[in-house]
Amino acid sequence: MIDLYTWGTPNGRKISIMLEEVGLPYNVHPINITKDDQFKPDFLKISPNNKIPAIVDPEGPDGKPISLFESGAILIYLAEKTGQLFPEEPRASYDTLQWLMFQMGGVGPMFGQAHHFRRFAPEQIPYAVDRYTNETRRLYGVMDKRLGDADYLAGADYTIADIATYPWAARHEWQGVDLSDFPNVKRWYDAIGARPAAQRGMAVPA
Ligand SMILES: N[C@@H](CCC(=O)N[C@@H](CS)C(=O)NCC(=O)O)C(=O)O
């Protein structure tokens, strides 16, 4: 049974959606990042950057336990462990990796800053709000163009690139984004939202 250390945030929900999609059983360990659980020594042994998500798989690739942090690495690990949601054919595999990296290096950090400056900063700083809201909208534009050409981010198939991006799009209201401005993203968002595994994963931790 895989141990998942998580909280109710987009990065955490990437992994619960993935575990639900591939059908691996898992135990949820809530790490309350609003109460500094992420700084506790036992958690730091698993996740030295004091961030969720992290996993411990008692049956790693060599049959021994493995612990992993960084959601992109965890998604690749679970995809390779199960042979699901990460195409093997080289072109499709690189398409998946490039859209996964686009999420990890662009969507996650920029949407996260939009959340911070729009909702959580102790004072409203117009420069920061505009900068990250505009960058978020630009990234939705990139996704909308891509999803006008393909059903999913990496092409014809639903992959870990979509799983990484969906929980961030689920916070579109926090970002001041109306999905009707991005109709291809909306179609993709609704398709993933209709998947029972995505619905179960989005409800973790309970
Ligand atoms: N690049 C990391 C980012 C993880 C991340 O930012 N996690 C946030 C919650 S979404 C967190 O644990 N924050 C707590 C902190 O920074 O102290 C990943 O994708 O796993």
Q: Using one digit for the tens of pLDDT, what is the confidence trace for 57-98?
A: 999 999 999 999 999 999 999 999 999 999 999 999 999 999
Q: What is the pLDDT at residue 184?
A: 98
Q: Is 38 in the pocket of ligand 1 (CB under 6 A)?
A: yes
Ligand 1, atom 12: closest residue by C-alpha: 51
Ligand 1 centroid from CA 89, angstroms: 31
For 158, the token pair is 């639903």
Ligand 1 centroid from CA 108, angstroms: 9
How far apart (Å, rounded) are the C-alpha atoms in residues 158 and 50?
Answer: 30
Atom in ligand 1 nearest the alpha carbon of residue 36? 17
Ligand 1 centroid from CA 149, angstroms: 31
Q: Using one digit for the tens of pLDDT, what is the confidence trace for 109-138?
A: 999 999 999 999 999 999 999 999 999 999
- CA neighbor of 143 nearest in space, from 125, 162, 123, 128: 162
Neighbour order of strands in the sheet with 54-57: 26-30, 2-6, 54-57, 66-69
Q: Using one digit for the tens of pLDDT, what is the confidence trace for 9-53?
A: 999 999 999 999 999 999 999 999 999 999 999 999 999 999 999
Rounded percentage of the chain residues whose pLDDT exceeds 70: 100
Q: Are 92 and 79 in contact (CB under 8 A)?
A: no
- 3-state SS class at 17: helix
Q: Are 102 and 154 in contact (CB under 8 A)?
A: no
For 180, the token pair is 């009707």
Q: Is 9 in the pocket of ligand 1 (CB under 6 A)?
A: yes
The total number of residues written for the chain in this structure: 206
Q: What is the pLDDT at residue 17?
A: 99
Q: Is 50 in the pocket of ligand 1 (CB under 6 A)?
A: yes
For 178, the token pair is 């109306």
Mean pLDDT of 132-145: 98
Task: Identify the bridge partners of residue 54 per DSSP, sorted by sequence position.
Answer: 5, 69
